[in-house]
Amino acid sequence: MTQTPKREVAIVGIAGRFPGAKNTQEFWNNLNAGLNSISVIPQDRWKWEDVYGDPQKEENKTNSKWGGFIEEVDRFDPLFFGISPKEANFIDPQHRLFLETVWQVIENAGYSPKSLSGRKIGVYAGVSKNDYAELMGENISAFVSTGTVHSILANRVSYFFNFRGPSEAVDTACSSSLVALHNAVRDIREGECEAAIVGGVNALLSPRMYISHAKSGMLSVDGQCKTFDASANGYVRGEGVAALFLKPLDKAVEDRDNILGVIKATAINHGGRSNFLTAPNVTAQSEVVYTALQRSEADPRNISYIEAHGTGTPLGDPIEINALKKAYGQYYEERGLQPRENSCLLGSVKTNIGHLESAAGMASIIKVLLAMKHGVLPELLNFTEINPYISFEGSPFGLVTAPTAWKKRRIEGKLLPRQAGGS
């Protein structure tokens, strides 16, 4: 897949709901205060006591009773969106949450939905799990086909707002919302749409995936995501919804939009064959990071922060660091540069809110945009001692172990914008 880097893409609106935060302002307040928003599974989801136990010795049990949860996931005003209450009962809360968040991101960008009606606005939504269909069981109605199928999550948005650009749901598991972003950037550059709404959503409504993931050894047994730490023991599931409003940078400048950030380049790939189906591949990860750097034409010395995937697994964290070191090492070497120690800090929002799975990428990007706005890098929570399989020696990387002022770099007397990457 090729992508021309000539036309940069601006982010002109953000919206979202996250564990412990009803909007992006509350989200930032929590991050800035170093709050941990993980809790025991609420009783209005399911009785965690009924499925809590040893997944290796007991049938249909999970050793995790924790997660990051949003409030009022079941609340929705169907009449506002021209939907009957009867139909709304059969619509997956993920669809409803995303529809609400698209309205909010349009408002945040300073537009009215009516002003965008009939225009080539693309909709790209990352979504993966389908808990609500499971809960319905045999309760089948005509609305089940439109209320639970992932493709309708994006298409309902395009239908309601009368958008004429591409409309697609993307399911690539944990990378869903970032692959959706990549597709949107590509389509804006190729003229498939004049602007785009990009987002991701994840709702935890059933214990089924808790049980499956626990049997696979993926989940943290103490309910804490300890990214890059020696005691990392798995990830913590989380839910949320978020969206970005994208426009070509030149058009955003012309329209005097409030530009929150600029996307210089994106890249995607697949790890191909590795040790097993879900194991990350360090070479493939390195290649995709290097490709993004190359397309951005960035000076690596000016990239001062990377929001890592950082799930807090003892296998995945070291592989991600080694991939970053390999990609940056090649990029520095080709330019005859020497990295400066701790010149590019790493963090992960998953230590605050858990792993939002198909919405994880959007949470990471919005965190970076808010940190840029406020000039502060929130600390990496739950960190005590570096994972023994991780070494930053010979690289520009270090960790944000305390709230850190995010200063702009000055080159030849010129103050540069803050620059960051997302892995």
Q: Do the Cβ atoms of 157 and 200 come closer than 8 Å?
A: no
Q: Do the Cβ atoms of 235 and 11 come closer than 8 Å?
A: no
Fold that domain 9-422 belongs to in CATH: Peroxisomal Thiolase; Chain A, domain 1 (3.40.47)
Number of H helices, E strands in the chain: 14, 16
Q: Which of 9, 12, 1, 73 has its CA nearest to residue 257?
A: 12
Q: On the CB side of 224, how many CA atoms lie within 13 Å of its CA?
A: 14
Q: What separation, in Å, do the N-terminal and C-terminal C-alpha atoms of the chain show?
A: 19
Q: Which of 331, 381, 344 has its CA nearest to residue 228?
A: 381
Give the pLDDT means over successive 10-residue stretches in the chain (423 positions).
66 98 98 98 96 95 98 96 96 98 98 98 97 84 88 98 98 97 98 98 97 95 97 97 98 98 97 82 94 94 96 94 96 93 97 98 98 98 97 96 94 91 93
Taking only the tens place, the pLDDT of each residue in 119-140 is 999 999 999 999 999 888 777 7
Taking only the tens place, the pLDDT of each residue in 248-271 is 999 999 999 999 999 999 999 998
Q: Which of 2, 7, 69, 76 has its CA nearest to residue 263?
A: 7
**What residues does 311 pair with on adjacent strands?**
none
Between the alpha carbon of residue 160 and those of residues 102, 133, 155, 414, the distances in Å are 11, 23, 9, 46
φ, ψ of residue 185 to 5 degrees: the values are -60, -45
Specify whether the backbone of 22 is left (phi greater than 0), alpha (psi in -120 to 50) or beta. alpha
